[in-house]
Structure 1
Amino acid sequence: MQARKAMIEKLEKEGGGPGNQAIAKVNKVQRSTSFGVPNANSIKQMLLDWCRAKTRSYEHVNIQNFSSSWSNGMAFCALVHNFFPDAFDYDSLSPSNRRQNFEVAFDAAEKLVDCPQLLDVDDMVKMREPDWKCVYTYLQEFYRGLVTKGLVKTKNSS
C-alpha cells in the first residue's frame, strides 16, 4: 500500500498528461480487484433468473420480480413442482385459488426440502402484492434447502 502511495505521489509531482493517465490506470487496477465478487443486487438478480429458468415452461407463471409475480401462488407451486413433479398435480391448480396454491407450495417445500414456512398463507392471501423482501428471503431458504439435499449444484458443491 505504501509503495502504491509513493508511486501516485511521484506521478502527481511529475504532473501533466502521461502522469495523470498512469494514476488513472493505478486507480482502475485497484477498483477492478473486487470484480467477480457478487454484490447483493447481482445475487438477487441471479436468484430471480434461476426462478424464471426453472418455471419457464409452466402455465400461469411469468416471473418478473419478487413481488407481484408471486401473488397468486402459481410461481411458488411451479418452482416446487419443477423439482418434485410427483408431489402434487400442477395442472389441477388455478390462479384464482390463491389460498390453495400457497398451502400446496409451502407445505410441499417444508416437507420435501425442510424449507421453513417463513410466509404465512393468511398474510399472502390478504396482500395484493407480497413484500418482495419476504418472498426473496423465502426463496433463498428454498434454494438453500435444495442445495443441502443435493438437488441444486453450486460452484462450491461437489
Structure 2
Amino acid sequence: MARSPSAIKQVLLDWCKAMTREYENVEVTNFSSCWNTGMAFCALIHHFYPDAFDYSQLDPKNRRYNFDLAFDTAEKLADIAPLLDTDDMVKMKNPDWKCVFTYVQSIYRHLRDHENNKAKVPAEAES
C-alpha cells in the first residue's frame, strides 16, 4: 500500500521523536525549527553511536559546533553524506524543512538496520 507524502513525513517524524525522546534540549515536532540548534541532529546520531561524543556536554547556543559534530560523526561512522552545510544551517533561523527532511531520510536509510534502531519504521518512509 502506497502512502501519501504527508504520511511518509509523519512516519519519519515519529521515528525521529522515538530516537531522540530521552535527550535534553530536543523536542522534535517538525523538520525545521526543531533542528535549528543542531541538538536534534546530535541526539539522533548519538542514539546510534553513544560512544562517539559526550552529548551531555553540548550547548544549544553553540550551533556551529553542534552541526559540525553531527554531520562529521554521521559521515565518519555511518557513511552518511553531509547533505546539509553548516554555514547554511547557522545562517538560517528556521532551516528549510525539505532539506532537513531529505538529510534525516538519508540518516534513516543508513541506520534503519542498526542494532540501536528500536523503533522500526515501515519501508514506506523510504519513498
**In the alignment, what sits opposite 1:57?**
22
Specify every segment of 5 or more residues in structure 1 that has no aligned partner in the other structure, as ranges: 1-35
Name the aligned partner's letter for residue 78 of structure 1. A
Residue 46 of structure 1, aligned match among 8, 11, 14:
11
Identity of aligned residues (%): 60
Show CA shifts across 1:58-112 (max 9, x none): 0000111000000000000000000100010000100000000000000011111
Give 1:60-71 correspondences, 5 Å limit.
60-71=25-36
Greater percentage in helix = 1
C-alpha distance in structure 1 between counterparts of 2:25 and 2:33, whole Å: 13
Measured on the aligned residues, the alpha-carbon RMSD in Å equals 1.4
Partner residue, 1:124 = 89
Deviations 1:119-149 (A, max 9, x none): 00000001111000000000011111113xx
- Quote the residue 2:49 is aligned against: 84
- The amino acid of 1:120's aligned partner reads D
Q: How many residues align?
A: 119
Q: Which runs of 5+ in 2 are unaligned?
A: none
Name which structure has the greater RCO, CA cutoff 8 Å, separation 6+: 2
What secondary structure does 1:107 align onto?
Answer: helix
Distance 1:155 1:57 in 2: 22
Tell me the TM-score normalised to structure 2 length: 0.89
Distance 1:53 1:104 in 2: 21
Please say if 1:113 is aligned against 2:78: yes
TM value normalised by structure 1: 0.72
Q: Structure 2 vs 1, CA of residues 154 and 129 (structure 1 numbering), >3 Å: closer, same or farther?
A: closer
Q: 2:39 aligns to what?
A: 74
Letter in 2 for 1:60: N
> What does the per-residue CA deviation read over 1:18-71, in whole Å, with 9 as the maximum and x for residues that have no partner?
xxxxxxxxxxxxxxxxxx421211110000000011100100001110000000
Which AA in structure 2 matches 1:37?
A
Larger Rg: 1
